[in-house]
Amino acid sequence: MDELTWAKNLAKTELHAHINGSIGMPDLRKLADLKGVHLPAEIALPGSAGFSLDDVFALFSKTIYSVVRDAQALQFVVEHVVAAFKRDGVRYLELRSTPKSLEGMDMDGYVSTVVSAISKAMSENETIRVKFLLSVDRRHDPETASTIVSLAIKYANLFPSIVVGVDVCGNPACGGIKHLVPSLSRLKLDAPTLKLVIHFAEIETPPEEDELLTILSLNPDRLGHCTFVPDHIMATMRARKIPIEICLSSNVVGGTVNSFEAHHLKQLWDSGYPRECLILCTDDVGIFCSDLSNEYVIARRVLGVSREVMEEWAQLVCDKYAR
């Protein structure tokens, strides 16, 4: 069996997927046509010369959000994203998205639309279970962050089988997250069963060390990327068995890591970081154009391990996180 078919047949768990970054360009174009939005014939994607992480964020603000402007568009995106993950052999999926005001809809309406679109998508794709994390963007002010935490708690009470936590995302070049700490602490106090997941040390500068320590003091349930974590902080993470969402293509294609061979996954694996705490994820499959099966193929190549080892690893991850 060829590598990709083997990887597609694995029952996989995806824990780090941004909704608006997971819509494929062909589906986005279909949606643009439906909504009468003009998209340029050529949209530069990663892989084009000089493409950087900043260009990824520009893609969201200038292209994707120009199309995903109302409830109908958001629903279309969620349904197409869930169907694509299902086709890729994902059995358990945690999607994340930043609540925003769209046409005719406030942040509460955004969350309610995502939740109902997920319910509908699951009823149409019975082999996949889908959950939702509400994202706070690091550029949000404390009031917006607090509103999103309150929405997470509200919707987790209403739909406990769908809403499972809060994520902190956003362009890491746009500054720290200390201003978000009161809201994130409140989440841990008021809703201890909800997960807190945070993008962590994604680029070389910042983070400041004391910010990383502040984040760890919040007891996050998982951390995303962890590309530029100083050794002594990584040692603490390992001792505490903090799960890391590994996004190979996002890091390499987004330009924060030079090559798959140089990716920190290999170092973490060889250092004995608990395997069930290393989770392969896509981040933004619509932008980085590498689905989760392909991430498994890349990981097997860079780790130099057998299919059996990869299968055991995928199973460990499913056993630990799919709930």
Q: Please state, in angstroms and rounded to a whole number, the distance separating the CA atoms of residues 293 and 12.
A: 8
CA dihedral (214, 215, 220, 225) in degrees, to 10, reads -150
Structure tokens at 123: 């009823």
Q: Number of residues interacting with Zn ion: please give it, by CB under 5 A.
A: 1
**Of the candidate residues 13, 63, 135, 150, the single one contacting ligand IMP (CB under 6 A):** 135
| Stretch 166-185: interaction string toward ligand IMP, x if CB under 6 A | ---xx---------------
Residue 283, interface with Zn ion (CB under 5 A)? yes
What whole-number distance in Å separates Cα of residue 191 and Cα of residue 181?
15
Least distance (Å) between residue 204 CB and ligand IMP: 14
Interface size with ligand IMP, residues (CB under 6 A)? 16
Angle between the 107-124 and 142-158 helix axes, to the nearest 10 degrees?
40
Catalytic residue among 14, 202, 245, 295: 202
CB 189 to Zn ion: min, Å: 25
CA distance 119 to 131: 9
Of 128, 129, 71, which Cα lies nearest the Cα of 99? 71
> Which residue of this chain has its Cβ atom nearest to Zn ion in the complex?
283
Residue 321 binds which entry of ligand IMP, Zn ion, none, CB below 5-8 Å type-dependent = none
CB 12 within 8 A of CB 88: yes
CB 307 to ligand IMP: min, Å: 29
Site membership for ligand IMP, residue 94 (CB under 6 A) = no
Residue 250 found at the interface with ligand IMP (CB under 6 A): yes
Beta-bridge partner residues of 197: 167, 222
Give which of ligand IMP, Zn ion, none residue 125 binds (C-beta under 5 to 8 Å, depending on kind): none
**Alpha carbons 221 and 277: distance in angstroms, whole number:** 11
Alpha-carbon distances, residue 85 vs 70, 82, 158, 186, 278 (angstroms): 23, 5, 25, 32, 20
For ligand IMP, the binding residue among 75, 98, 112, 125 (CB under 6 A) is 98
- 261 is known as an active-site residue: no
CB of 127 to ligand IMP, least distance (A): 24
Answer for the pair 97, 19: CB distance below 8 angstroms, yes or no: yes
Under the criterion CB under 6 A, does residue 199 sit at the interface with ligand IMP?
yes
Q: Give dist(CA 70, CA 104) in Å, integer.
A: 7
Site membership for ligand IMP, residue 129 (CB under 6 A): no
| Per CB under 6 A, 27 contacts ligand IMP | no
Residues in contact with Zn ion by the rule CB under 5 A: 283
Residues in contact with ligand IMP by the rule CB under 6 A: 18-21, 60, 97-98, 135, 137, 169-170, 199, 202, 250, 283-284
Active site residues: 202
